[in-house]
Structure 1
Amino acid sequence: MITEITLNWQLGTSALLGLAAAAIALLLVLIIRFRIHAFIALVVTSLLTAVAAGIPAGEIIGTLTSGFGGTLASVALLVGLGAMLGRMLETSGGAQVLTQWLISKFGEKRAPLALSVASLLFGFPIFFDAGLVVMLPIIFTVARRLGGSLLFYAIPSATAFSAMHIFVPPHPGPVAASGLLEANVGLVLVLGLIVAIPTWYVAGHLYGKFVGRRFNIPVPSILSGAAGGQTSEEFKSAPKVNTVFTLLLLPLLLIFLNTGLNMLSSAGLVDADATWVQWLRLLGETPVALIITVLLGMYLLGFRQKKDKTLIETVVDSALGPVCSIILITGAGGMFGGVLRASGIGQAIADSLEAVGMPLIVAGFLIAAVVRVAQGSATVALTTAAAIVQPAVLDDPSLSSLQVATIVLALAAGSVFASHVNDSGFWLISRFFQMDVPTTLKVWTVGQALVSVVGFVCVLLLYALATMIA
């Protein structure tokens, strides 16, 4: 896989910044002004950006397909399998059953809060995109039942997954940064939770209420009814709420096998090469966990309810058509980000910021944030920033374990800043919520910037406390 290109001629940092800005502007003009389909616009912009960046002609297609394929490798299976599970829950009436249970337990006014709390719990071991896809049918059903803009319900839940994914081990970003900076992963986990919860409250709960009042986004029908009216009625069975909880909690538990064992092996508590560890981690790989859950869903919601085999196949198959566009556009977003990464813009920006004298924790946050905005990948932004500040952290014996853990979280806060058109997650939100690009920029990009800033403020408070204790 091509992940880095040696350019025939070297662009300076200012030229690379100009190139990135011009590419993003071209993409927005194509989509907003000329109404060109986002997939085509992303491919065209990626191609032109690769040429302008000086990537050799013989390597351009490889660079494009590398970014596209790398994103699809992590997204296509999750979206496809998640959509199948979501379609079965929606069509069987399972989502409605769980919605009624939530409302009966928490009341209509607290139902959005209940969704967010569930997302915070699910978000502990499950990655952002996988958790969101699994929760979508419940979010959509609650929003349809209670009325109002989808954003009242979706933004708090999505932000909960985002905050947990970026700040809390065992997610890969904070674990990788902890390894580079030799931080205590357990300490990062505890402090990450302290940062993630107030960040979600401000940037998810309160912000969700604000954008819900400002933007009236209808509930999409992407997970309901596309199998055909008659087919949908035939598949209904009103399953028990315990059955729905089983299908939602199973991937949570399976994925925790992977992420939990990965964290334990990083801490040296289990042998990562042990056969039993590898098999359990395989069961916890997100695609494997989801395919097991989909098969169980076919049994519990289909075969056990005496549904015809052809009917079950039709319902599962009907989930794939509506999400094909989401998968392709998300992959093309990964292609665009991959081209920007191949241009070397992230490293050039990081090298320039490294030379500017400022407090280490602030410099790390800014490096991660600028690299994130420039090339789109939160993971690349986090690991780049961690590699840049690593010598300063490891060579400073005065830094306590608490201070090092807060530096990790500062880098994490920067790496989530302002998700926009070069981030595949931006397109996942845009397509699933069926928001146009300008609205997604106003809602999701601003919201992720808020997650970053609020999270960093919380980290600074912890760092000040750690400095007083040290």
Structure 2
Amino acid sequence: MLAAADPVQPAYGTVTLLAIAVAAVLVLLVLIIKLKLHAFISLVLVSLGTALVTKIPLGDLMKTLLDGFGGTLASVALLVGLGAMIGRLLEVTGGAQVLADTLIARFGEKRAPLALGIASLLFGFPIFFDAGLVVMLPIIFSVARRFGGSVITYAFPAAGAFAVMHAFVPPHPGPVAAGELLGADMGLLVIVGLLIGIPTWFIASYLYGQWAGKRFNLPVPAILGEVRDVPADERPSFGLVLSILLLPLVLIFLNTGLNTLATSGVVDGDATWVQALRLLGQTPVALLITVLAAIFVLRNRKLDLASIEKVCNDALAPVCAIILVTGAGGMFGGVLRASGIGEALAGSLEATGLPVIVAAFVVATALRVAQGSATVALTTTAGLMAPTVAATSGLSGMDLVCIVIAIACGATVLSHVNDSGFWLVGRFLGMDEKTTLKTWTVMETLIGVVGFTLAALVSLVL
């Protein structure tokens, strides 16, 4: 395994680095949209070219490329692969159909997208964005096939719910790290994150998803394989399907809950029993346990173990391209981070004299646009803003929490080609790059802008 590349001093000033980044994105879009070169090849090619132009030392160049690629795969590949298996097992056994039918019966046809979004808000509390989305996809696709219309109508309320929870609410790593760096109260951050996040989701994700679904009529993709109608007597019960979906939720929440208790000193974080239980709640382990549980409880008389092995194998084939493209997107973002553009741009913005909450949002936005990763933008901005926040007198506990939310909002906007999530959502929903920019990028930006507006109002009033 290659060692991590050492930090590189920027070879150019902020303006030049920004121009290089913009040019790299434009070249990438031309290669993919105009010249129809495969996204994976285009991303690797542009990443290499950008690394050379920004004068990353040749000895560190390959390390930088592979660190960005491998780091993204480390967080995405296991989650997507295991999540795809769970989704496919739910699909072929009729479990997704059972859950879809139950949601429809309880909420009705017109409120089906709302039901999917609310379910995703609940599942998204402890589960990371990519894992939650992959597990929910078969249910989303089943509902979309039942009622017709654009898959965006059903997918965006759910995807936006996971995005909001991942950025705004502990115990997700971004808001937790930012809250600790700025000295915000975690309990208050959870409450305010939910109070701001839920209306933000409703406006920027649910309502926007309904509008975008009417404008962009996309069919349900076949990425999870062919769909067969499972006879009613062979389908699992609703309670069994719900248990499968809740299993990773409970395990992951066990990990995050114990981590919170250990941080606050309630339990000994070094105790063997704590570490063992936390291991069970690590997202890849929790999904692995869920796959094994699904294999043994969702079997029916027409689906033996040999058939299930084929189902799991078939589930991996269509997502391999998604995993590789997502990893290449992480490579591009890693090159932009190593070039120093994000820190240089953020440093120049930090000294503009803007109000602290506005400066936090602007700096996070700059870092998000420059390097792609929302979590990196969130934590880096919090570290950059910490001295300014500490030196600003009169900031209340509510102000600190609102600043963390403002940073999260800036770290959410303008998801584009250097963001691995951009490729994950676009590929799973069968969208080309142009459509992904017109829909997913717009929704992410709306989430950030609406959330920041609400956070600024709360900070001003309270």
TM-score (norm 2): 0.97
CA distance in 2, matches of 1:391, 1:338: 26
Stretches of structure 1 that go unaligned for 5 or more consecutive residues are: none
Matched AA of 1:6: V
1:92-132 Cα deviation digits (max 9, x unpaired):
11111111111111111111111110000001111111110
In structure 1, the partner of 2:223 is 222
Structure 1 residues 441 and 195: alpha-carbon distance in aligned structure 2, compared to 1, 3 A threshold: same
Give yes or no for the alignment of 1:276 onto 2:273.
yes
Structure 1 residues 193 and 175: alpha-carbon distance in aligned structure 2, compared to 1, 3 A threshold: same
| Contact 1:169–1:263 under 8 Å retained in 2 | no
CA distance in 1, matches of 2:459, 2:269: 33
Given candidates 231, 240, 246, the residue that maps to 2:237 is 240
RMSD, matched Cα: 1.6
Give yes or no for the alignment of 1:400 onto 2:396.
yes
Taking only the aligned residue pairs, the percentage that are identical comes to 60
Give yes or no for the alignment of 1:188 onto 2:184.
no
SS, match of residue 322 in structure 1: helix
1:53-452, aligned counterparts within 5 Å?
Answer: 53-225=54-226, 237-302=234-299, 305=301, 307-452=303-448
SS, match of residue 319 in structure 1: helix
| Contact 2:413–2:447 under 8 Å retained in 1 | yes
CA distance in 2, matches of 1:64, 1:391: 32
How many angstroms does 1:305 deviate by?
Answer: 4.5
1:162-188 Cα deviation digits (max 9, x unpaired):
001100001000100011011100000
How many angstroms does 1:398 deviate by?
Answer: 1.8
| Contact 1:333–1:422 under 8 Å retained in 2 | yes
In structure 1, the partner of 2:50 is 49
TM-score (norm 1): 0.95
CA distance in 2, matches of 1:403, 1:4: 36
| Contact 1:3–1:338 under 8 Å retained in 2 | no
How many angstroms does 1:71 deviate by?
Answer: 0.3
CA distance in 1, matches of 2:144, 2:412: 27
How many angstroms does 1:4 deviate by?
Answer: 4.8
CA distance in 2, matches of 1:443, 1:177: 28
Structure 1 residues 215 and 323: alpha-carbon distance in aligned structure 2, compared to 1, 3 A threshold: same
Structure 1 residues 236 and 310: alpha-carbon distance in aligned structure 2, compared to 1, 3 A threshold: farther
CA distance in 2, matches of 1:299, 1:225: 22
SS, match of residue 218 in structure 2: coil
Given candidates 2, 5, 10, the residue that maps to 2:4 is 2
CA distance in 1, matches of 2:399, 2:194: 16
Matched AA of 1:2: A
| Contact 1:365–1:413 under 8 Å retained in 2 | yes
| Contact 2:94–2:230 under 8 Å retained in 1 | no
CA distance in 1, matches of 2:122, 2:304: 35
Matched AA of 2:114: L
How many angstroms does 1:224 deviate by?
Answer: 3.1
Bigger shift: residues 58-67 or 134-143: 58-67
Question: May I ask how many residue pairs the two structures share in their alignment?
Answer: 460
CA distance in 2, matches of 1:99, 1:235: 13
| Contact 1:77–1:287 under 8 Å retained in 2 | yes
CA distance in 2, matches of 1:282, 1:411: 30
SS, match of residue 413 in structure 2: coil
CA distance in 2, matches of 1:320, 1:365: 39
CA distance in 1, matches of 2:17, 2:290: 45
Stretches of structure 2 that go unaligned for 5 or more consecutive residues are: none
| Contact 1:81–1:290 under 8 Å retained in 2 | yes
1:412-468 Cα deviation digits (max 9, x unpaired):
1111111100000000001000100000000001110000000000101110122xx
How many angstroms does 1:405 deviate by?
Answer: 1.0
Structure 1 residues 59 and 235: alpha-carbon distance in aligned structure 2, compared to 1, 3 A threshold: farther
Matched AA of 1:264: L
CA distance in 1, matches of 2:213, 2:62: 41
